[in-house]
Amino acid sequence: MKIVFSNLCRTALAASAALVLLSQASRADESGVSLWLPGQFGSMAATPAVPGWSLGMVAYHTSVEASGNVAAARQIQIGQVPPTANVSLNANLKANGDLLFIAPTYTFATPVLGGQLAVGVTGLVGHLDTSIAGTLTAQVGPIVATRNGLLSDSLTGVGDLYPLVSLKWNQGVHNYMVYGFGDIPVGAYDSTRLSNIGIGHGGIDIGGGYTYFNPATGNEFSGVAGFTYNFKNTATDYQNGIDFHFDWGASHFLSKQLFVGLVGYAYQQITDDSGAAPFLGGFRSRVLGAGPQVGYLFPIGDKQGYLNLKGYKEFAAENRPEGWNVWLTFAISNAAPESTVTPMKHLITK
Rg, C-alpha atoms of the chain? 21
Topology (CATH) of 5-348:
Porin (2.40.160)
Q: Which helix (H) or strand (E) holds 345?
A: helix 345-348
How much is the pLDDT for 3?
A: 34
How much is the pLDDT for 175?
A: 98
Q: Tens digit of pLDDT per residue, the chain (350 long)?
A: 333 344 445 444 444 444 433 334 333 345 545 788 899 999 999 999 999 999 999 999 999 887 665 555 555 555 555 555 555 556 677 889 999 999 999 999 999 999 999 999 999 999 999 887 776 665 555 555 555 667 788 999 999 999 999 999 999 999 999 999 999 999 998 888 878 888 889 999 999 999 999 999 999 999 999 999 999 999 888 888 999 999 999 999 999 999 999 999 999 999 988 876 666 667 788 999 999 999 999 999 999 999 999 999 999 998 888 899 999 999 999 987 764 433 333 322 32
| Residue 307 to residues 17, 124, 222, 325, Cα–Cα distance (Å) | 12, 19, 18, 17
The SS3 of residue 1 is coil
Confirm if 34 and 285 have CB atoms less than 8 A apart: yes
Per domain, the residue ranges of the chain are 5-348
The predicted model scores a pTM of 0.82
How much is the pLDDT for 236?
A: 83
How much is the pLDDT for 345?
A: 33
Work out the number of other CB atoms within 10 angstroms of the CB of residue 15: 31
The span from the CA of 108 to the CA of 112, in Å, is 9
How much is the pLDDT for 143?
A: 59
